[in-house]
Structure 1
Amino acid sequence: VMYIYVKRCLYIRIISKLSGKNLTGTIPVEFTKLDGLVELWLDNNSLSGSIPDFSGCPNLKKIHLEDNKLTGGLPSSLADLSNLRELYVQNNLLSGKVPPGLLNKDLVFNYTGNTGLRNEGNGGKHKGVVIGLSVGAAVLLLIAAIISFLIMSKRKKNSSKQGKFQHGFHAQKLTSSLSDTATEAAHYFPLFEIEEATKNFEKKIGSGGFGVVYYGILKDGREIAVKILTNDSFQGKREFSNEVSLLSRIHHRNLVQFLGYCQEDGKSILVYEFMHNGTLKEHLYGPLTHGRVINWIKRLEIAEDSAKGIEYLHTGCVPSIIHRDLKTSNILLDKNTRAKVSDFGLSKLAVDGASHVSSIVRGTVGYLDPEYYISQQLTDKSDVYSFGVILLELISGQEAISNENFGSNCRNIVQWAKLHIESGDIQGIIDPSLHDYDIQSMWKIAEKALMCVQPHGSMRPSISEVIKEIQDALAIEKGAENVREASSDEISRHSVHSSLNLGSLDIGASEHYLSIDDDSIAGPIAR
């Protein structure tokens, strides 16, 4: 399958449809000959063998090979790819030393989760470099302190320009990394630039407990979502800095991209990519539902996308991250209706795999893990509970909490769905607007959703197990869809022949006739 795919895309620039396809075997050497290739996405598969030499792909900017079973070392030739900006190889079985050229390169580089992969120095020469850098860093820090003092003394006089001077220092302080060596800084947007992009915060597109969101367009044409945080969102500048540091080191195709921040004139602002199709909530039971029903296959794809974003937070980040406020309004859809998880304002780092204990329980009613609410002990299984509620919403098209839809004695979707599912009445909870679905896939998701909302975290599956079940349900649905399409085509074929036969009868002795070969009638086309 991989070989056939390569043969069909000799001039392709982006290979992104092979993520999460349960692919096995080695990375085809043919990929290394695609000199026009810019992005390669082979993440979340079961690929084995070593990483090939990509020297034949000089235009490569992004390589995503994370979450596979790749072995061997990291090719030093990767450092010679001048355009490379992202290299993700975490959670494989790689070993050996990390090439120094990659560590010195300006790129987002994640190699965590490879227990045999080491970052080692190069003997005395390396030590000399470290000492030299240390002395240089000390001098730079002294210079930076003097410049910082001079800037602060002129703050009132040059307040309109201060953002430009400050952002360099902010970026240095907020530098964070996904590993001991791979670092990157959050981009600083001066306030005047944000005001210009949003036309002085003219178009409001959302609001929540942490602030108001506005639409904007940057000078380079990028559309952005600008979130102005409420004053009580963070306890102070230090907490805001920690949040920006956290956001700047998270990169995944199923997480809304964080672009930068601003902190001026008493405002704390976060800037994200703009998601054109709004929230999942709006599509399930909001203003976008009228005449635009999301079919069951698309709902499963949205569930898979969202779960993969959560899985990255839980297993792809070191230390792992717990979202803590998963809900349908925090799942956003892009131009192609692909889902991304948003709003990490409530996320928390899980230190050394331990659970997070907090005196303040945060979350949203209806999605909140009851065990977390009682014990105040936050784990990744708290996110799994919330995701189980989302799965029930995808099946039913109902909100998590309702005073009307669940009967007189029930306000909670979990309690309502559990009664129906455990009694075998799954039809009682399926969204009536859904058509053309396989009941087997519906049962799979319903049963897994009930496992997710078990009262005790230890009884719930991991988010990775949930993804596997969603993918199985998708396979069932796509198989059923192909059968339906084949049946439809067969009916159409018979209709054509019937029409032709009737036509010949009507023509009678006429000299005009129509001839048609079976080969000229198109058969079912594989999706």
Structure 2
Amino acid sequence: METRLLLFFLLFNLLLLLLFKEASTQMPGFVSLDCGGEGNFTDELGLHWSSDDDDVIFGKAATISVANETRKQYTTLRHFPADFRKYCYTLSVVSRTRYLLRATFLYGNFDNNNVYPKFDVSVGATPWSTIVISDANTIESIELIFLASSPTVSVCLSNATTGQPFISTIELRQFNGSIYYTIFESQFYLSVSARINFGAESEASIRYPNDPFDRIWQSDLVKKANYLVDVAAGTERVSTDVPIDISSNERPPEKVMQTAVVGTNGTLTYRLNLDGFPGFGWAFTYFAEIEDLSPNESRKFRLVLPDHPELSKAVVNIQENAHGKHRVYEPGFPNISLPFVLSFKFGKTSDSSMGPLLNALEISKYLEKNDGSPDGGIIAGVISLYLPADWAQEGGDPCLPVPWSWVQCSSDTPPKIVKISLSGKNLTGNIPSDLTRLTGLTELWLDGNSLTGTIPDFTGCPDLRIIHLENNELMGELPSSLMKLPNLREL
């Protein structure tokens, strides 16, 4: 009896250990920042959240309380001054790896002014989205899919036209393999406009852990303006508990593929607004035959887009295309021009006995990357010498979308650094040699520091007009190279 009891307790403790490990495990490459929050925590989904204290030195934290919102990450935010500067978060990534980047914004009247903020968000030098708050209690969310081209990615807030820029959360999700590969990924990001779960069982979104990549699949039952309207009569919801083979390119989650809508009258029709469009985009549908068709039944249908009659020729036969039932078929368009108001229809063919079926849909807009100033890499070498300093931690591109507080840039495309103002910034050591590589530099202000050594050769900066180096601890005579600068007039 004692042996059995001991064995029971051993098995029970082992089960608890396994359950704890499962609950605390998430995919590698996940970063979840609770902006303005204190300490770390694990939410009800098993996602690990960290405070942003170690990621940003600017801005102020604020606490908010919104009815019907109990998630800890939405009880705080970080807000920034409405000034000429940009305020950036810089996150570590693995180069040549694809990621989902998500930022959310819940105003909650944190400033007690009821002034709905409007401001810009950029990824590095690339404008991403303009956040327009229209309801203090509604979360605004933006998502971007990108191929990392460097060891870091920056998310920056700037250009507030009303209120103060703020942010609630930043989430980074690493993808595996070739998920969301496009031939344009070195020049364009994918700005997510729609990711819809059709036939959903409730208004709740599906995400992690049902989707191991934590994509958020919005329910088609959500009620909001211009979202999935003009639904055809005879549209019915179907579901199954049978496992689905999801081994397609984008691997939609099984729970999404276990529900669908069916056009029992022969058609499925929808209309919705696509944020960020018109423009060129990436659009894919997901199908899985989850109804049991008899041998004499068939399901064949075509997509109909009003502005693209040439796309209505292909016939979808899910079981045939997917090579069996309960398997994902993922047709789509890797590059298609779409309007802001998208109307689409699936209509059954004349030889089909069953109406069309739709499980899920994803649409993203191509967002052209801006590589920023060619001086970015050069100036990075300068700030690496002074990283503890506030001015060296502004993040993002030195010139775009707005320049750093101590930098002025040209209006050229791409812009170049033309002025550096680092007077009285407690600079020590030699004058950084990288400054001599800024070919567009016209003004250099380094006075009032503790710089030592000699003055380097600035002949690589032929447009230099003004150099201020007084009140330092420099040695030696003025180099003759300064006299060779054709435009120098103030030293």
TM-score by length of 2: 0.27
The structure with more strand, counted as a fraction of residues: 2
Q: Which structure exhibits the higher relative contact order, with contacts defined as CA atoms closer than 8 Å and separated by 6 or more residues?
A: 2
TM-score by length of 1: 0.26
